[in-house]
Amino acid sequence: MKIYRIADISSSNDVIYVNKEDYDGNFWGHSWAIDVGITGTLHFVVNASSESEAFDELIDYLEKKMPEELIPIVKEPKLGDEDEERWIRGGNHGRYMATPIDEMQIKEINYTKLHKKQVNALKNKLGSFLADHFVTTANDIETALYWFSRNFSTEPNSELYNIFKTSKYVPGWKETVDSETELVKQMYGLLEDTFTLNGMLSIPSSVDEAIENNLTLSKLKNEALQACISRGHNMGVWDDHISPSGKGTSFNTCVKCGKEVMVDTNPPPNGIDIGGEAVALSCKPEYEMATPEELKRELGIG
Ligand SMILES: [Zn+2]
């Protein structure tokens, strides 16, 4: 549930928010997207009033927070460093960022470019998805969407990013989703389960599809569960194998007899969406006949 993970940042496409306490206040009035490095590019978002101040903020941040091997921040270029004249100097200590300027890109993030309509459309979709699953209020939905969009938006200019950027909800700057009520945390959890995989967001354009697939999945699970219960089974917890788009299969096993049921949101042609012994056969534990050896062992006389 973190925005950035310093430890594995080199292998991640996450956006690193440099001075994130300023997001809600928008004190500086401008935000900048800075990409660093040719391969395994790191993406930073910095709030600052100008391009050069954005680099100052970034250099201070890197000096304090970044593992040195990723982007070295140095006091002085060493004699013979060929790239030195292309390094950027800045920050409170006037340090150099040991990455050639031509391996960096900076551009202003223009929030007004994104049509409000698109942002609202996505927000409404996610909001009604939550309203379908929880007895809740508009404020709780706003709060859950705030944290979800803040923690999972990876594109600074995306619709999802703009949901928290333009949200009415303003948390205290030390708060996280864990400071919220149990209900909000559950709503956040459902968004996370439905629209992310391994901490990565599923493609926002597939939100419609993911919502539909998720509804299909809950519907299938319900139907399957009813069928199993009517056969006397006592089913356990679903084991989901679901893609970020919500497509996939889920399994459940009767805790009394071990018979299985499987649901598939995307069955092959002529395949079935609900199947397994638990929907076809009644609950009756099946004992296997023990061999004489097993019986002796069991009785401690082997
Ligand atoms: Zn059973």
Domain limits, the chain:
6-109, 113-201, 231-280
41 CA to centre of ligand 1 in angstroms = 53
235 CA to centre of ligand 1 in angstroms = 7
277 CA to centre of ligand 1 in angstroms = 9
pLDDT tens sequence across 137-195: 999 999 999 999 988 887 766 788 889 888 999 888 789 999 999 999 999 999 988 77
Q: What is the pLDDT of residue 289?
A: 63
Residues with CB under 5 A from ligand 1 (ion): 233, 254, 256-257, 283
Estimate to the nearest angstrom the gap between the alpha carbon of 50 and the chain centroid: 31
3 CA to centre of ligand 1 in angstroms = 43
255 CA to centre of ligand 1 in angstroms = 7
262 CA to centre of ligand 1 in angstroms = 14
Residue 243 has pLDDT above 60, yes or no: yes
User: In this structure, is the dihedral angle defined by the CA atoms of residues 15, 21, 25 and 31, taken in order, positive or negative?
Assistant: negative
281 CA to centre of ligand 1 in angstroms = 8
Q: Which of 46 and 185 is assigned the larger pLDDT?
A: 185
The Cα–Cα gap between 224 and 259 comes to 13
260 CA to centre of ligand 1 in angstroms = 8
> Where do runs of H (alpha helix) occur along 93-181?
116-133, 138-152, 159-165
Q: Please state, rounded to an integer, the average pLDDT across all residues of the chain.
A: 78
The Cα–Cα gap between 214 and 217 comes to 5
Of 211, 210, 227, 212, nearest in space to 263 by CA? 227
Q: What is the pTM of this model?
A: 0.44
Average pLDDT estimate for 224-233: 93
Integer CA distances (angstroms), 237 to 44, 156, 222, 250, 254, in order: 40, 37, 13, 10, 9
12 CA to centre of ligand 1 in angstroms = 44
44 CA to centre of ligand 1 in angstroms = 53
Q: What is the pLDDT of residue 293?
A: 80
Q: Could you tell me the two tokens for 199?
A: 């901490």
274 CA to centre of ligand 1 in angstroms = 16
254 CA to centre of ligand 1 in angstroms = 5
226 CA to centre of ligand 1 in angstroms = 13
